[in-house]
Amino acid sequence: MRLYQEQSRLRDAQRALQRTNFCFGPNKKQELLRLIYEISRRDNISAQIILKKALEDNSFQSTKHVFAYLKDYFLKKRFPETYEYKKNFDVYLPKINLNSRYAVLKKEQGVYSPKAIFIEREIKDYGLTKSILTKFPHAQRILISCLKDHIKSNQSSSPISNYNLRTRNLFLINERFDFIKPCPCSQGVLGCGYYILNLGFGCIYECSYCFLQSYTNVNGIILPVNVENFLNRLELFIKDKRGPLRIGTGEFTDSLALDDITAYSCLLIDLFSRFKNATLELKTKSNKIKHILKLKHNRRTVVAWSLNPQQIIDNDEWRTSDLNERLEAARECCQAGYLVAFHFDPIIYSTNWEKLYRGLIDNLFKKINPKDIAWISLGTFRFMPQLKTIIEQRFPQSKILDKELILGFDRKLRYSLFQRVRIYKKMLSWIRRYSGSVLVYLCMEPKGVWKEVLGRTKF
C-alpha cells in the first residue's frame, strides 16, 4: 500500500515538473524531481503545491537561471537546518526507482527455516554440518564444490533480489582465509581498536538501514563450519598480540540470532575465558541468551545490545526482539555475571528524537546497574550512498531517510556535523545523569568530534 502511495507521489512530481514547460536536461530534471519528491514525501504536500510556491516566490532574472534558482530553493526547503548552518554542502540526488518487486513485507519474528542448504563438498562430513542439517530435515541439500564458483554461475543480476532471497538459502562453507581482521573504519575517523571475527555472514533480521543490503552478492546466509580453524587462529592471534584486545562477531551478522543453530558463542566464550588480555563481544538485537547463562566465562565475554526506542524498532528493525526483551535479556546476563554493553547505533534523528532517546536511556538505567556495563557506544545514522535507493525500494514506508542526510567527510551520507555533535552531547548528558564513569565512545567519528563531545581522542 505504501509503495503504491509513493509511486503515485512520484508520478505527481513528474507531472508537476512537466507542466512548468521549462526544458531541463536529464540530470537537472533528475535532481529537481528528487528534491520535489523528497519534500513532498516528508511534508505530505503535493508536488504541484511545492512547485507553485517555488515559482510564486521566484527571484530568477530569466529562464536561463531557472534551474539554479529552483535547485537552491528546493535545497533550502529539503535541508533547512543544514542550509542555515552552511550554504555549501554536498547532496546525493540519485534517480528514483520504486519497484514493487523488491518491497519487504513486515512479518513478525518467525522461525528461521531455509528451503535449501548448499554444502561445500569438503566439509560435508564435519560435525557442525551434520548437526545443522538435522535441524532442517525438510530443506533441500545441495553439494557444491565451493561457494565462490557457485556464486559466479548462480547469481541473479539484481543484488536486491539476492538479498531478498537470503533467508531461503543457507551456505555451509569451509572458510580458508578470512578469520580475523581489524574493524573497517571510514577514512578520517578515530578507530576504537576493534577486531572482527568473521564467523558468519548475513542476517535473518530486517533492519531498514542494514549496510549488508548493499554489501553482499550472495543470495543466502553463510555459516563456516570449520570452527576448529577459527578457534586455532584466534588462540594464536590472542597470544601473539600484546595489550587488551576487543574482538567481536557482530559485524556481518547478528552474534546470537543463529546461535541456536551454530552454538558458535559457547565455544568462543570458553576460549576467551582462558585469556586475560582479550575480550569477546557478542553483539545482538535478539534475546537468545538462555544457552549462555550457565557457561563459565570469567567475565571475558561482554554481551552487547544495539538499542533503539521501541518506535524505531517497530518501524525499522523488523523481526528483531522488542526493546523490553533485549533489556530483560541483558538483565539476565548481568545476573549470570556477564558484563554487558550497549550500542546506541544508529541513532535516528527525528522531530521527537529527544523524547524517544531520553526515554530509552531512562529505561536502560532503570533495569541495568551501571557497574555491569563495560561500554556504551554512540553512532548516528550513516551509510554509503548506494544504500539510499535500496532502502527506498525495500522499505517504502520507512521515514528513516526523511531527515537531512548530506555527503560527509568520508562520502557517506550523514547528518550535518553540528547536528551530530548536538545529538552526542545530549545523549552523553543523559547517560551521565546515571553514571559519571561508564565508558562512552563514538563510532565512526573523526578526532575533532571525539574531542568536542568526549574531551578525549582515545578509546
Compute the least distance from the CB of residue 416 to ligand SF4, in Å. Answer: 23
Of 117, 197, 210, 361, which lies in the binding site for ligand SF4, with binding defined by CB under 6 A? 210
Of 16, 93, 117, 207, which lies in the binding site for ligand SF4, with binding defined by CB under 6 A? 207
**429: CB partners within 8 A, 6+ apart:** none
* Contact range with ligand SF4 by CB under 6 A, out of 64-72, 137-145, 200-208, 220-228: 200-208
What per-residue string of b and e applies to 30-57 under the rule 16 or more CB within 10 Å gives b? ebbbbbbbbbbbeeeeebbebbeebeee
Of 6, 31, 38, 254, which lies in the binding site for ligand SF4, with binding defined by CB under 6 A? 254
Distances (CA, A) of 316 to 322, 356, 367: 12, 14, 24
Of 205, 264, 424, 430, which lies in the binding site for ligand SF4, with binding defined by CB under 6 A? 205
Q: Which of 21, 24, 76, 30 is nearest to 50 (CA)?
A: 76
303/433 Cα distance (integer angstroms): 23
Compute the least distance from the CB of residue 290 to ligand SF4, in Å. Answer: 19
Nearer to ligand SF4, 203 or 304 (CB): 203
Compute the least distance from the CB of residue 90 to ligand SF4, in Å. Answer: 26
* Contact range with ligand SF4 by CB under 6 A, out of 94-102, 205-213, 265-273, 422-430: 205-213
Compute the least distance from the CB of residue 84 to ligand SF4, in Å. Answer: 32
Nearer to ligand SF4, 285 or 326 (CB): 285
The strand pair at 206-207 and 140-144 is best described as unpaired
- Check residue 150 and report its DSSP letter: H
Nearer to ligand SF4, 26 or 110 (CB): 110
Nearer to ligand SF4, 399 or 422 (CB): 399
Nearer to ligand SF4, 120 or 254 (CB): 254
390/399 Cα distance (integer angstroms): 14
Nearer to ligand SF4, 322 or 354 (CB): 322
Pair 265, 286: CB distance under 8 Å? no
Of 212, 263, 267, 336, which lies in the binding site for ligand SF4, with binding defined by CB under 6 A? 212
Nearer to ligand SF4, 253 or 287 (CB): 253
SS3 256: coil
Helix 2-19, helix 47-56: angle, nearest 10:
30
Residues 34-63 that bind ligand SF4 (CB under 6 A): none
Neighbours of 434 (CB within 10 A): 16
Distances (CA, A) of 306 to 33, 222, 233, 340, 379: 36, 22, 28, 11, 11
Distances (CA, A) of 130 to 12, 23, 113, 134, 143: 55, 64, 16, 6, 13
Count of residues interacting with ligand SF4 (CB under 6 A)? 9
Compute the least distance from the CB of residue 173 to ligand SF4, in Å. Answer: 18
Nearer to ligand SF4, 50 or 207 (CB): 207
Residues 277-306 that bind ligand SF4 (CB under 6 A): 285
Nearer to ligand SF4, 9 or 394 (CB): 394
Compute the least distance from the CB of residue 317 to ligand SF4, in Å. Answer: 6
* Contact range with ligand SF4 by CB under 6 A, out of 47-55, 79-87, 207-215, 391-399: 207-215
Residues 353-412 that bind ligand SF4 (CB under 6 A): none
388/408 Cα distance (integer angstroms): 14
Residues 304-333 that bind ligand SF4 (CB under 6 A): 320
Compute the least distance from the CB of residue 294 to ligand SF4, in Å. Answer: 25
Question: What are the residues facing 385 on neighbouring strands?
Answer: none
Residues 69-128 that bind ligand SF4 (CB under 6 A): none
SS3 195: strand
The strand pair at 169-173 and 116-120 is best described as parallel
Query: Is residue 444 a contact residue for ligand SF4 (CB under 6 A)?
Result: no
Q: Which of 98, 154, 143, 96 is nearest to 117 (CA)?
A: 143
* Contact range with ligand SF4 by CB under 6 A, out of 135-143, 202-210, 217-225, 269-277: 202-210
Assigned C-alpha cell, 35:
528534491
Compute the least distance from the CB of residue 310 to ligand SF4, in Å. Answer: 16
444/211 Cα distance (integer angstroms): 14
Please, what sign has the CA dihedral across residues 365, 371, 377, 378?
Answer: positive
* Contact range with ligand SF4 by CB under 6 A, out of 27-35, 49-57, 120-128, 206-214: 206-214
What is the contact surface with ligand SF4 in residues (CB under 6 A)?
Answer: 203, 205, 207, 210, 212, 253-254, 285, 320
